Structure 1
Amino acid sequence: MIFIEVIKKRFGHFEGETVWQWTMINDHGMKISVLNYGAIITSIETKDKFGEYANISLGFSDMDDYLAYSPYFGATLGPVAGRITKGQFSLDGEEYQLTQNEGANHRHGGKLNFSKKLWNVSVEKELDQIVLTFEYTWADGENGYPGNINAHMTYTLNNKNEWIIDYTAHTDKPTIYNPSNHIYFNLSGKAGSTILPHQLWVNSEKFLPIDKEMLPIGEIRSVENTIFDLRAGREMMEIIKNQDELLQIAGKGLDHTFILKHENGKPDAVLFDPQSGRRLEMETEADSVLVYTSNSMAGDFEINGKTVPKYAGITLETQGLVDAINHPGFGNIVLRPEKPFKSKTAFRFAVES
């Protein structure tokens, strides 16, 4: 019999500090391993329809690989996930310039973003769940962001086979805040494989068209009669093969924000692999999910001795709309001292025979 437990071990070093890995294990044998570096999920192990366990997320087993490559495998992004046009925004009559780490634009919080920080971690083991709490203080002016931001997250693994992320944050002056997790899923559990046989369902009627810099053009467009209509589900191969211009711009695949409908009793998204029978349901309080199909994976690094191919994984990055601070009608990502940030995302894992 398996009992819920957590195992801590040394994973490596970063800037003279020890990088630790915690592995949470629930009563069903599901495992989630996570680092204090970047609050990175290194692996999620679940069983398939045959009862075999395998890692269904992309991640490295060596710290040197995380330092050498930057695909954001399993990493926390922020203070603002996604891209900000020219790294610029206006807030309360003040103009701000963030660092530009992707051409002229700002991406995922800047070069040394949340994914490159050592977080303070505490562990609470309960009867039916394990909770890891992550804390980091982002300094006023770092990468151009105003305000000292006290960032706080919990990762919970429970006996319902759920991974739950709770985000909270406080600031001492108005700033912008829109974190996410850049987990890449491959439900096959096979290193070196692609997600092309996977099926994706997203409860969304609208999405954001993008330009050649992968930035929203400012329009909110209906998915009706487009390849972006995922309300009935589509196989990833069907999407990848489609000649829609917006897919071609993104590198022949998805790198697009879907505005979520949030209907009670329905998940916001479902990912299913018919070969393994693994099914993932996602539910979030965030306004949208950015779906990325690893279109730009270069194949110049390996996982478990296998070259990582294009389309190796798929992200479900829950967040406010990308570049919302620069587009009217995209929602509010302003964080103010009098109103803390709160958001929750749950991933539920199951199998179908």
Structure 2
Amino acid sequence: MKIETQDILNKWKLYTLTNNNGMTVSFLNFGGIITDISVPNRHNQLENVVLGYTNYTDYEENPNFFGAIIGRVAGRIQDASFTIQDQPYSLAANEGGHHLHGADEGFHQVIWQSSPFQSDDTVGVKLNHKSLDGEGGYPGTIEVAVTYTLTNNNELILDYSGTSDKTTVLTMTNHSYFNLSGNLAATIHNHHVTMESDDFVELDTELIPTGKKINVVNTPFDFRTGRKLVDGINSISTQNRVANHGYDHYFILNQTQQQNIRVKEETSGRLMTIKTNQPGVVMYTSNTLDEGLNLAEGNSKPYLGVCFETQASPASLHHKGFPSVILEAHELYDKQTVFSFGIEG
């Protein structure tokens, strides 16, 4: 196993983790942005399975949040405002009248302190960041850490931790767009997804949760026994159309000891499983991805990647009955998501 470091644009570091199987994971200390994950297909060919720019300068703006750590709060906060302990807080409105993914002062826009580490069977980097009270409009000075660990079992482990000196809101995630065809050989229409979820959250026309949960039975949102993403992309279901013809919804995950999510791409044979202790996941099928961005393996277009944003629900700030994003003062935030890669068939 090894870890390599490269200076980028004279201001960032690019880390590349390699395990004994040849799998590699590359990411920047800027935004914790994962730029490349190369894993074998059924013919043992290593290919990249995430979307990333050709030119590192394009990550400075990164309006699609490719590969980045998202925080303080992943997702949309209705009306860019919330109240904690009878105290109202206002945030930057960067998507219509709403707040998305931390806006311009989000974690995807900061240089994280980085500490590489290595053991006999793991290699990784711990990223640390301190966000001061009032930054971005959020209460509390918080200290957060995100650790990327690569194992010899082809697992990429993302550990998230944090504490705040005031009661605040926090739910972090990673915003990688996965495409298991490898090197963008195809869109994600035929990615077969199995997900342990009985309910998803209804969205309005501005992609804001209405406060209603919908049971997945007899809908294109029922992934419990598996289905292809094309089912929702081509669906005339109101919720698929609201999301710009696809998925951009929060799924509440069933509590299970098994993998929460399985993603299979038949042509390459690649299988990705996701296990998390987060209560839910936003699955986004890049329905509105801009066309013509200069990506490492070609130009961007809609449906070129699928995000699995494991997190709690910002809808909990305005509606009851959703997984909470509240972090009490001096309470430990401790979450983990594991992406495992293999071959099936």
Same fold (TM over 0.5): yes
Q: Give the counterpart of 2:213 among 208, 211, 220.
A: 220
Deviation (angstroms), 1:67 = 2.2
Q: Give the counterpart of 1:122 among 115, 118, 128.
A: 115
1:7-28 deviation per Cα after TM superposition (whole angstroms, max 9, x unaligned): 1001224xxxx11100000000
Deviation (angstroms), 1:68 = 4.5
Mapped partners of 1:195, 1:216: distance in 2: 25
Paired residues of 1:192 and 1:306 also in contact (CA < 8 A): no
Mapped partners of 1:290, 1:68: distance in 2: 22
- Residue type of the alignment partner of 2:3: V
- Residue type of the alignment partner of 1:289: V
Trace 1:53-202 onto structure 2 (pairs within 5 A). 53-191=46-184, 193-202=186-195
**TM-score normalised by length of structure 1:** 0.95
Paired residues of 2:24 and 2:37 also in contact (CA < 8 A): yes
Q: Give the counterpart of 1:336 among 322, 328, 338.
A: 328
> What residue number does 2:296 align with?
304
- Residue type of the alignment partner of 2:73: V
Structure 2: which 5+ residue stretches go unaligned?
A: none
- Residue type of the alignment partner of 1:11: I
Q: Give the counterpart of 2:338 among 336, 346, 353.
A: 346
Mapped partners of 2:149, 2:88: distance in 1: 38
> What residue number does 1:321 align with?
313
CA-atom RMSD, angstroms? 1.1
Q: Give the match's secondary structure for 2:105.
A: coil
Q: Give the counterpart of 1:290 among 263, 278, 282.
A: 282
Paired residues of 2:171 and 2:311 also in contact (CA < 8 A): yes
Q: Give the match's secondary structure for 1:246.
A: helix
Mapped partners of 1:154, 1:67: distance in 2: 22
1:177-218 deviation per Cα after TM superposition (whole angstroms, max 9, x unaligned): 011110110001133631111101110000001011111000
**TM-score normalised by length of structure 2:** 0.98
Mapped partners of 1:178, 1:229: distance in 2: 25
Trace 1:4-23 onto structure 2 (pairs within 5 A). 4-13=1-10, 18-23=11-16
- Residue type of the alignment partner of 2:274: M
Q: Give the match's secondary structure for 2:149.
A: strand
Moved more, 94-103 or 67-76: 67-76
Deviation (angstroms), 1:93 = 1.2
Mapped partners of 1:331, 1:254: distance in 2: 20
Mapped partners of 1:7, 1:304: distance in 2: 20
1:227-269 deviation per Cα after TM superposition (whole angstroms, max 9, x unaligned): 10010111122221111011111110000010000212x2100
Deviation (angstroms), 1:310 = 0.9
Paired residues of 1:192 and 1:309 also in contact (CA < 8 A): no
Number of matched pairs = 345
Percent identity among equivalent residues? 33
Paired residues of 1:192 and 1:308 also in contact (CA < 8 A): no
Paired residues of 2:74 and 2:171 also in contact (CA < 8 A): yes
Deviation (angstroms), 1:133 = 0.3
Paired residues of 2:277 and 2:335 also in contact (CA < 8 A): yes
